[in-house]
Homo-oligomer: A and B are copies of this chain.
Amino acid sequence: MLYAVILAGGRGTRFWPLSRRAMPKQCLSLDGGPTMIQRTVTRVLPLVPMERILVVTGPDMVEAIREQLRGLPAENILVEPSPRNTAPAAAWTAWEVARRHAGDDPATICVLPSDHAIADEEAFRVALTIAATAAEAGGLVTIGIRPDRPETGFGYIEPAAGTEPVRGVRRFVEKPDRATAERLIAEGCLWNAGMFCWRADRCQAAVRAFLPRTAAAMDRLVAGDRSAWGETDATSVDYGIMERAGDIRVVPAEFGWSDVGSWPALESILAAQTWGTGVGDVEALRADGNIVYSRDRLVALLGVHELVVVDTPDVLLVADKREGQRIKELLDLVEQRRGSKYG
């Protein structure tokens, strides 16, 4: 029986000022439609009913998530006492599923990020089904995205040679420089998209083996001792579990995936306009390559290029598109000088 776990604890500061502590990236609509987490849930619903979807999130954003996922049972939202990266969050769901699962069939879990975009949902579900099947048979399985550019912002996975839908994994490669990324692509490496499948018991065994402190904390946590959370290993699933396990499998896939990592990524999920791309009412003269996000206001562009313009009720951001990675630095400056009200 398949469970879906949606990791929704991130703050997503790279979408500031639209994203805020109480309204992080996964709670936003970046294309004017349903929010990212709503889409993430809808996307798996043909495979997993609401009762078997768990969402892990933080106290700041739980309200927004409850609001956006009204069909989700209240007990399916796990609220992390503090952010400890993805390994404790994923482990918690394995312990929870093991505790809740009633049937004799194995409980299989797919762990999914809450804030990625997927263009071809059917292809995604095919890949997920393949991964879940391999996981049910006992594997620790990840989905690997076929790269379409030498991206330096992602980790890579080198699959074993072969053409099967489920392959062995030779190694995980951390974020490479550009030359390395080009070589990795030529060698057939895949992007690590942070999607994992495993049986609950198999995940528990891996956590006990590689993160014994976390495993002990989980035993106490599901017994009701929330203070145990602080004793988990604050590490990622990749570092804490996958890279230490010897028998990882990968499902190579292609389904129009984007991590939508910063404002310029809107170009990969929205239609191009003469002035650039974005959401909202725009009029422009001699402008191109811009990213605009505005809900309430007409944005008039004149002679500007490669800008990010984000209009929110209390903050207006105008940034150079190439500086997208520095938005957190700007946010830090704003919070340092004006307190947390704009964060």
Contact = CB atoms under 8 A, between A and B. Distances in A.
Contact of A311 (B286, B316, B338): B316
A17 B319 CA distance: 20
A300 B318 contact: yes
Contacts of A301: 318-319
A285 B301 CA distance: 21
Contacts of A320: 302-304
Q: How many copies does the complex hold?
A: 2
Interface in A309-343: 309, 311, 313-320, 322-323, 326-327, 329-330, 333-334, 337-338, 342
A132 to B, nearest CB: 42
Contacts of A304: 307, 318-320
Contacts of A330: 283, 285, 300, 302
A322 B302 CA distance: 10
Contacts of A309: 316, 318
B283 A303 contact: no
Given A283-B333, A283-B338, A285-B326, A319 B297 contact: no
A297 B283 contact: no
Contacts of A334: 283, 298, 300
A299 interface: yes
A216 B260 CA distance: 70
A23 to B, nearest CB: 17
Given A283-B338, A329-B285, A333-B283, A303 B316 contact: no
A323 B301 CA distance: 11
The bracket for how many chain A residues form the interface is 35 or more
A304 B310 CA distance: 14
A13 interface: no
A158 to B, nearest CB: 36
A56 to B, nearest CB: 31
Contacts of A17: 300
A38 interface: no
A277 interface: no
Contacts of A322: 303
A50 to B, nearest CB: 39
Interface in A147-173: none
Contact of A307 (B298, B318, B327): B318
A297 B316 contact: yes
Contacts of A337: 283
A297 B326 contact: no
A40 interface: no
A303 B326 contact: yes
Interface in A132-188: none
26 contacts: A283-B330, A283-B337, A283-B338, A285-B329, A286-B323, A297-B313, A297-B315, A298-B316, A298-B338, A299-B315, A300-B316, A300-B318, A300-B334, A302-B317, A302-B318, A302-B319, A302-B320, A302-B323, A303-B320, A303-B322, A303-B326, A304-B318, A307-B318, A309-B316, A309-B318, A316-B316
Interface of A: 17, 283, 285-286, 294, 297-304, 307, 309, 311, 313-320, 322-323, 326-327, 329-330, 333-334, 337-338, 342
